[in-house]
Amino acid sequence: MAVVSWKEICLLTGLVVGCYWNSLFCGFVFDDVSAILDNKDLRPTTPLQNLFLNDFWGTPMSEERSHKSYRPLTVLTFRLNYLFSKLSSSSYHLLNVVLHAVVCVLFLHFCRLLLDRSTSFVAALLFAVHPIHTEAVTGVVGRAELLSSIFLLAAFLAYTKSKGTDHSIVWTPIISTVFLVAVATLCKEQGITVIGICCIYEVFVAQGFTLPMLTHTLLQVLRGKDGFPYAVLQTLLKLIVLIISTLLLVIVRVQVIQSQLPVFTRFDNPAAISSTPTRQLTFNYLLPVNAWLLLNPSELCCDWTMGTIPLVETLLDPRNLVTVVFYGMLSLLAYQGLWFGHSSAKIIMMALSLIVLPFIPASNLFFPVGFVVAERVLYVPSMGFCVLVAHGFKLLSQRGGLKKMSWLLMGILLTTHAVKTFNRNWDWESEYTLFTSALKVNRNNAKLWNNVGHALENQNSYERALRYFLQATRVQPDDIGAHMNVGRTYKNLNRSREAEEAYIIAKSLMPQIIPGKKYATRVAPNHLNVYINLANLIRANDSRLEEADQLYRQAISMRPDFKQAYISRGELLLKMNKPSEAKDAYLRALELDHSNADLWYNLAIVNIEMKDPSEALKNFNRALDLNPQHKLALFNSALLMQESGEAKFRPEANRRFLTYVKEEPDDANGYFNLGMLAMDANENEEAEHWMREAIRLQPGFRSALFNLALLYSQSQRELDALPVLEELLRYHPEHVKGLILKGDILMNHRKDTRGAKACFERILNMDPSNVQAKHNLCVVYFEERELQRAEHCLVETLAMAPQEEYIRRHLAIVSNKMAAMSAAGQPIAPTEGGRASDKQQEQQPQVKQEEEEGQGVASEAGEGARKENNLRKSSPKESVSSQGHGQSKKLDAGQPDKRTKSKSTKEIKDIEKKRAAALKRLEEIERILSSD
């Protein structure tokens, strides 16, 4: 075997980079969304062992909806990408390009075993630029092919060293081969097929046997004329070791999938559920289709499911001739490789082994798979194809006058393939570009129309998306998912009647329950979302809640393990004010998925509705144990701790709010609640900082503005509070407590009775029954020496609140004052410059301010303001037809929590202290007034 030079490695790598550098600008598309964006196994918070318990898409292998694709080492590389760059798609694409370059170099090593230096390099160049590889290299999920190919080639190259110089067996390379095969299989299932390639290499290349020689040797042994030659015995021993290793790997693989095949529908692979001979004719016809893609990769498509390739239903279908021709050519090549022992035969034999064996698991010939044609599974078979093309090029170039022509043709082929590959990469830039490019190749695949609709839907272009979804229903009228997409889009367009009709059509297409036949095996799990989506739509009408509940229960009866149905039903039961039943629904969902942080979070919400905050906090903590960055659990558990009023919870509540604002730096609610915690701890500077940050993020933040003003007022910075109150009232002109606080400050510190009067009168215009504003207006009249008006005002106030003793006393004071002035012959009406004493001016309004702080204003800081940012609930989201995962109940800002907050002991003592001070000053004022 000739050594691969650094120059060749650099040329190959440079060619790969030249063809694929633009893939770095592509995003996550198609299957990447499920494998990367939606796969929790990539997150560092997910235990590493989950990679070995879940399938490629993050679904537990034990679940029926699992695709049974067990590729933990591939997922591990995704996780490493996530560790270094989170969800930056360029890093994922970059690693794929590097891996493809490594495969090309290893493939060149492989070719050197069979071909001369220049021919092997031509084969490697052709492999590096072949357009069929764009799905495997530019599509991030194609990494499974890349990694598996690396270890597949490494295993084969290791095995070629198992023959010693004295023709003895060297066991170390064989052990290495078995290990590398196991690793390749953990990257993708087809890695195990390298064992067969090693067996063919051992028999037909290393030992130089042909089929006639093997037949002759076997006949001689059976006739007893001769024993097994020593070389044959050595070969048998090595093959037995390889075969036993293969069987062990297969047994382990079967145990991993728990002896269950994945559930695929007729939309994924229509031929798989067809009857004989349609199934056999179609699957055999798919072989020449794949061969044609290798020969002529001019029209590539990301999805060949549904109606892309019509079924071959009869023997009279002319496409059967293509199948016959394909098998004829394959038989001819196999004959050349098996019957002759020259070097060309060995090359053909190894090329065929690379084409056929790795393709068998995806051929549908022995067991159905979830696709009709998938370009990425041709990644390894294309190696054998490139070897054949390069070998044919060599034979052609050896014919005198054709040498220059053959090199010219090869140059044109490499150039056109490189250009096609580069341009094809741009199709993978986004889901919209990918699926629209696929529609240019095939317009009979409803899934493509649906996917273009999904891409437009993600851009909030619902009208355009609807046109594609409707076209999908016309192309495939019985496609349940297409009708679900139509329904969801109508809902997004606020066309509820049409949405319900679309869902009802989708529901009517569901398989009917047949007694004695398992329903789950005949329906795609995500299609059951039609019941969820229809129920979510009609539950918006409070008169149809029972109807919605019936739909949830119907879905559960069809699949008792349908987790999303329990989640959605739990939300509905909460809306129906049935928290105990909602709790049962969430507990059932937790039995199915106890490691789901969203479910523990939802259960905590139910506990809050059931007035059980301690249990709610426990369940919030369970959610955070599973996902320490669970934003809603962080926020609401911290809020629960804050509202408990217990000082021991404040440090942890503060830590959780800080973690929350790191995750959601633009959410003003997080900063506001940090400010409230600081106010509780009398950390005024810190409280001011957080309140200011909340107001910066959300101008007009009602509670933040009021509590900041209150903070200034309580810190003897009343004049600083005034501009804050002005801003509050500009956004919320009817904020009663803000008006009262402003009026008190204007009277007390600005001596602006006119401004204070305007505040109190504005309140009374909005709410004539507001006793607090009415009484304070009476105080303003007294301050302005309008004693008759003050007396009349207090009489009206007392009529509004006859139980309030302080109003009665103030009325008596004013009446006595008027009587005293009349007896002294003093005018009762105010005169120019006739004002009360300075002591009266300072103390009279202060009485009410202190009382308001004790009875009204202060309560906003401790109670009312917090109610504006408590636990929130949103309407349930619909499940997109291509997804089957349940989501937790999301929470929206703006809806106040129904819970009330009990005041802490410290707050109660503060209020009592203020009330005592107010009463003391009241007595002092009464003495002053009486003495006058």
CA nearest 57: which of 144, 165, 130? 144
pLDDT of residue 843: 34
pLDDT of residue 896: 32
**What is the DSSP secondary-structure string of 718-775?**
HHHHHHHHHHHHHH-TT-HHHHHHHHHHHHHTS--HHHHHHHHHHHHHH-TT-HHHHH
- In DSSP terms, 60 is beta-bridged to 54
pLDDT of residue 834: 40
**What is the DSSP secondary-structure string of 607-630?**
HHHTT-HHHHHHHHHHHHHH-TT-
Instruction: Count Cβ atoms within 10 A of the Cβ of residue 83 and give its class: 0-12 exposed, 13-18 middle, 19 or more buried.
Output: exposed
For residue 301, the 8-state DSSP code is -
pLDDT of residue 910: 53
pLDDT of residue 163: 83
pLDDT of residue 208: 85
Rounded distance, CA 200 to CA 440, Å?
41
Rounded distance, CA 248 to CA 162, Å?
21
pLDDT of residue 261: 59
Sign of CA dihedral 814, 818, 823, 828: positive
Cβ–Cβ under 8 Å, residues 806 and 922: yes
Rounded distance, CA 278 to CA 432, Å?
34
For residue 207, the 8-state DSSP code is S
Q: What Rg, from alpha-carbon coordinates, does the chain have?
A: 39
Residues in the chain where the model's pLDDT stays below 50: 1, 520-521, 831-909, 911, 915, 917-922, 924-932
**What is the DSSP secondary-structure string of 488-533?**
HHHHHTT-HHHHHHHHHHHHHTSPPP-TTS-SGGGS-GGGGHHHHH
pLDDT of residue 904: 44
State how far Cα 783 lies from the chain centre.
64
pLDDT of residue 889: 36
Rounded distance, CA 697 to CA 699, Å?
6
Q: Among all chains, which residue has been given the structure tokens 């590389």?
A: 77
Helix (H) or strand (E) holding 463: helix 462-475
